[in-house]
Each structure stands twice: as structure tokens, then as C-alpha cells.
Amino acid sequence: MTPWVMRLVVANVVMFFVTGAAPGLFSALALVPAQVPLRPWTPFTYMFLHAGTFHLLFNMMGLFFFGPRLEARIGGQRFLRLYLVSGLSGALFSLATPHVPIVGASGAIFGVFVGFARYWPRAQVLIWGIVPVEARIMVILMTVLALMGGFGVGQSGVAHFAHLGGFVGGWLYLRGAEARSAATAFRQVARAAPRPEPSAVERWRRIDRSTLHPVNAEEVERVLAKMETLGANSLTPDERAFLERFAGS
């Protein structure tokens, strides 16, 4: 597991046992949207509580399977911000059910799902470990189910609006983060000037792959191999921006 995925899993598991031994603490940290003015910490704390073992297991499995690759792609700080923003957005959307207690990391985890599907939309995901479906289709289906559940169709006892809020918050955060990223700035320059400078090509060749996550190291190898075979002009703006991200690290 990557560092922040590990820390978040540990935090959720520790809180599960702590609040299990102290039911009064569980109630004090749970989110009841109408009571936020009196308990302003709950939009944050609710996402580290779980109503049972299977609730915890489902959310931590989602974080374990989808989180590491995403954290390796966007970096630890952005991954943590994505997680928290998605959870807080889930709390915001829960205002649609103001008097219903809400607990669980689902809103934050659904933001992680959105991030995974954004970068690997055609990656195959096994639903229930059996049914293969592309990540982008999985997110669309889960969004539809959250909408239906939020308006009274389907399973009760599930925080559908928190799930929907996690999707929306995660998507908005990633859009904003990408718009402000150095890679985006470089991509704009790359589009304006198709032929990369020789100094840029040399920086890319000097990227130390041994310091990168295996997923990123593999992609760097692929892009550099393409550059050596077809020339630097064959690289797409996205590929140039990807190399530039690691050239200065």
C-alpha cells in the first residue's frame, strides 16, 4: 500500500475499535446534518466511523484496491485532499436528509473511485469478484444507483446522497487540481510549440526511474522508448507533460 492509503486504513480501523468500546463517542462524532451548527466537527469525523464490520470492510477494500494506483499517479498530498474533499462533499449533500445520522467513509471512497475512473477509464473492474466492467461504467452505474436511492428507489439505510456528494466533490477537486498543475501549464506550452527543446529531452532521459512508483516507472519507460524509436516529436502533449512532471523530481 502507498503511504496515505495505509494511514487512512489504519485510522478507520482504529476508530472502529475505539468507538465500538465507547458508544457515546460514536454518537458524538456521527453526522446529523441539521445539528452541524452545534457539532461542527462532525462533517469531518463522520467519515472515520462505521456502523459494522461489513460496512468497514467494504469501504477499506475499495480504498485498498483503488487507492494505491491513484495516489501514485497524483501524489500523496493531492490524494489526501481528494479523499477529504470528497468526504466533506458527501456531508454537504447529506443536507438533503437533515435529520438522518450519517457515518462511513463511503463519500470519500466514492471520490477515490471517480479519480481511478478518470485516469484509467477502461480498466477492468470485477463487480462482486465475478462480473467484469470498465471503471468508467462502474462509476456511471454507481452514480445512477445513488440518485435512485436518494429519491427513494432501492436499498434503504444507505447514505445515497453522501455517495453522490463524494462523486461530485471528487470530480470537481480533480478538475480544479489539474487546471492548476504544472503538467497542465507545460501541456499548454507543448501544444504551442510541438518540437520540444533539446534540454527538455535530456531532462526526460535523466529521470531516475528507481525512485518512482512501479506504475509510473513503467509508463516513463514506455514513453521514453517511444521517443527513442519515433523521435521526440512523436510524443503527445500528455506524454510530454507526464515526463516533465518527474524530470524535476
163 is an active site residue: yes
Q: How far apart are CA 133 and CA 94, in angstroms?
A: 29
Answer for the pair 81, 70: CB distance below 8 angstroms, yes or no.
Answer: no
Q: What share of the chain is helix, strand, coil (3-state, %, to 5)?
A: 75, 5, 25
Q: How far apart are CA 128 and CA 85, in angstroms?
A: 27
Candidates 86, 89, 94, 106; catalytic one = 106
Three-class DSSP labels, 79-147: HHHHHHHHHHHHHHHHHHCCCCCECCCHHHHHHHHHHHHHHCCCCEEEECCCEEEEHHHHHHHHHHHHH
Other C-beta atoms closer than 10 Å to the C-beta of 206 total 8
Q: How far apart are CA 137 and CA 121, in angstroms?
A: 8
Candidates 163, 181, 234, 249; catalytic one = 163
106 is an active site residue: yes
Q: How far apart are CA 233 and CA 72, in angstroms?
A: 27
Question: ∠ at Cα 211 (115, 122), nearest 5°?
Answer: 30
Cα-to-chain-centroid distance, residue 67: 6
Q: Which residues are catalytic?
A: 106, 163
